[in-house]
Structure 1
């Protein structure tokens, strides 16, 4: 390094090491903080590096701090001139920002203690020589280590605070999850109570055994459009209605209720069974224009076992004889809200002692999206469980049918068995 004073405040530099040493010493004399000192040295040498590495000299002009400004600080001014540089220097991303000057030059104006201020001076104290480069570097290294220690302590403190915050958030999340689960359970209980109120218990009629199983598509919303009704007519016959209203939730429940209530009213008024599906559509069309529902109507004489059935777009009933023979009872017709609603005819058959009748909604047979396969599986399941106590049969059939559910849907399974037959194998 060749260092030749051009004037008391200008030096010429040919190496990065010499430039760094000069910058550190003048920053020390100006009373800059250690951090500002190494930021200044790093920034100036970064800008000058390309020129010095190419063998071209740079000039460093320094102006020591003058009288203190109104804020109590003077400014150290450092100008870097690179007269032989082919282009202007890049000044972005420097540790200490610089101002751009015309041509290949840059300037740093750094707040510093003014001459004569307490604790600093442009000259070294009497009797002491200027600090050596090693001392300055050790001071910077010590400051960097202290800074790192402070940052590590801050990082540890922030980690601790974050851990406490996360713990609090996790506890709050757990509380919210518990509250949500409590609300879901309460909601489910209310809906199940509503369902129980809407679904009448089996009628007790000598000669007939009746049972039903209902399974919602969603466990937390156990209400839907699959509904049933059964009651005894004045002549002693048992009337059964099975309804599957389009959709899920309370809206479909309301639609299904409208259908069962209308059917019950018409049946008790004595309307012929073959006309009730069409008449129900006429009654409900005036105030529920979006209602669509399939419906199946069954009349059973407990004494004779005579069975009469009407249908509106509903899946066929299944008849299981006491000896295990099965047969689907199909009646063509169109449901409530369908074009030309009504049952095309009445189907007549007879339940002999020990025979089992299975009525259901399509959620039982279409859980795998293939109704015909579902009907075959239903016949097998009903045959397997036909000798069980009547109150167990509907749930047992549903459990066997729902071993694989690809298309969950509300499900009603209703069974009627004529008493008096042998329940042996």
Structure 2
């Protein structure tokens, strides 16, 4: 078949010619307007400048003949190719073919070609020689575009629905994972609390004394740290209390603090003088724990007379709150375990009368945003405020008051001892 060449001088003429040609060739509506739009973009500049363009078309023919093949096509509708060439004979430069709705092949010079597969007409096909008018063709394309938009809108709604279901599933999975993580955290916390209970002995039951303790780790789910205490009754009936704060956090500091409490207990039960125990503990532990550094406070208390004796190794001072609310810090100079020249420089002696409250603690209780003295003053006010509460509630109540102002999280021990009038019917524990 001979190609047909038409000279065109306007965009309207180019669009009209292409639409009629595509309709006669049986081109689907979407390919028809893509071809018309692509040719318009290629030739628009030339026609706007008043330079004509040439539209060359080769009617569809069987694909095997077009490709020079003698093989028979399989059964099915016969298919051919509509060839459309657009020549720009007067263009000063080659046209751009980037981003066309229907991609084109570049020909030598200033021409482009489209090869579009189309079904070949058969004897039963309606006649395509008399296409409808241009308005009808445009309406057909518009209708196809609207159908396409509707289909895309339906696809969009479907995808939104699928996405919503996916998001819902992901959210449900996220909630399940959060619940599982919380369960694991709670289980971890229970294990740590059991470990803490094993490391921290319960209060000693001695007629004439009420004792309670509160421990709070630096982090809710963190392992137990280096703040420990120990209390027990000596053979002479006095109560010994040890409070230790080992450097660091976690299980390593816990091991160090345990070493200190065990060494102090052994030395105390062997009968070593209280003023020598801090230094002797350093001697005992220095041989196998070279990194150990810990502050320590030792207290001896006679529950019958209320006599109080205190030794200190770099530890915060104890707080004594009298029954009438008067308070004082029991300060003793000394250096802790692992410090240069460890030991308590002297012993401090005082007396605990009925109703008096003794507060022992680690520095996590009094560290504040200002200086340590300010923390000690707040501690005295909190202890006075809560001194008449049941002894089991006093340490935690003091800690709650103190932790409203805090410099940084730290392990905390708050230990309280209150002297009461002994019931003569009770025996020593």
- Give me the TM-score of the superposition, normalised by structure 2: 0.88
Alignment partners' CA distance in 1, 2:44 and 2:190: 78
Flag the 1:108–1:324 CA change in 2: closer, same or farther, 3 A: same
Counterpart in the other structure of 2:47: 52
Q: C-alpha displacement at 1:203, in angstroms?
A: 0.8
Conservation of the 8 A alpha-carbon contact between 2:3 and 2:57: no
Q: C-alpha displacement at 1:39, in angstroms?
A: 0.6
Alignment partners' CA distance in 1, 2:199 and 2:294: 17
Alignment partners' CA distance in 1, 2:285 and 2:54: 99
* Residue of structure 2 aligned with 1:100, choices 100, 106, 121: 106
Counterpart in the other structure of 2:93: 87
Flag the 1:262–1:369 CA change in 2: closer, same or farther, 3 A: farther
Q: C-alpha displacement at 1:192, in angstroms?
A: 1.5
Q: C-alpha displacement at 1:99, in angstroms?
A: 1.8
Counterpart in the other structure of 2:149: 148
Alignment partners' CA distance in 2, 1:119 and 1:339: 111
* Residue of structure 2 aligned with 1:25, choices 14, 20, 23: 20
3-state DSSP class of the match of 2:364? helix
Flag the 1:396–1:104 CA change in 2: closer, same or farther, 3 A: same
Q: Does 1:125 align with 2:148?
A: no
Q: C-alpha displacement at 1:145, in angstroms?
A: 1.8
Counterpart in the other structure of 2:35: 40
Alignment partners' CA distance in 1, 2:189 and 2:229: 20
Counterpart in the other structure of 2:382: 381
1:341-386: CA deviation from partner (whole Å, max 9, x where unpaired): 3323332333233332110011111143531111011112222222
Q: C-alpha displacement at 1:223, in angstroms?
A: 2.8
Conservation of the 8 A alpha-carbon contact between 2:3 and 2:58: no
Pairs within 5 Å for 1:170-319: 170-221=171-222, 223-319=224-320
Q: Does 1:75 align with 2:81?
A: yes
Alignment partners' CA distance in 2, 1:416 and 1:113: 101
Between 1:282-291 and 1:158-167, the stretch displaced more is: 282-291
Q: C-alpha displacement at 1:42, in angstroms?
A: 0.4
What residue ranges of structure 1 are gaps of 5+ in the alignment? 1-6
Alignment partners' CA distance in 2, 1:40 and 1:409: 75
Q: C-alpha displacement at 1:15, in angstroms?
A: 0.8
Alignment partners' CA distance in 1, 2:6 and 2:311: 111
Runs of 4+ in structure 1 displaced over 6 angstroms?
Answer: none
Flag the 1:377–1:58 CA change in 2: closer, same or farther, 3 A: same
Counterpart in the other structure of 1:11: 6
3-state DSSP class of the match of 1:414? strand
What residue ranges of structure 2 are gaps of 5+ in the alignment? 65-72, 423-429
Flag the 1:17–1:289 CA change in 2: closer, same or farther, 3 A: farther
1:70-125: CA deviation from partner (whole Å, max 9, x where unpaired): 686432222211122222222111111112223322222222224x45876xxx72
Alignment partners' CA distance in 2, 1:9 and 1:286: 107
1:15-34: CA deviation from partner (whole Å, max 9, x where unpaired): 11110111111122222211
Flag the 1:164–1:188 CA change in 2: closer, same or farther, 3 A: same
Counterpart in the other structure of 2:360: 359
CA RMSD of aligned residues (A): 2.4
Counterpart in the other structure of 1:66: 61
Count of paired positions? 410
Between 1:244-253 and 1:197-206, the stretch displaced more is: 244-253
- Give me the TM-score of the superposition, normalised by structure 1: 0.89
Alignment partners' CA distance in 1, 2:278 and 2:221: 32
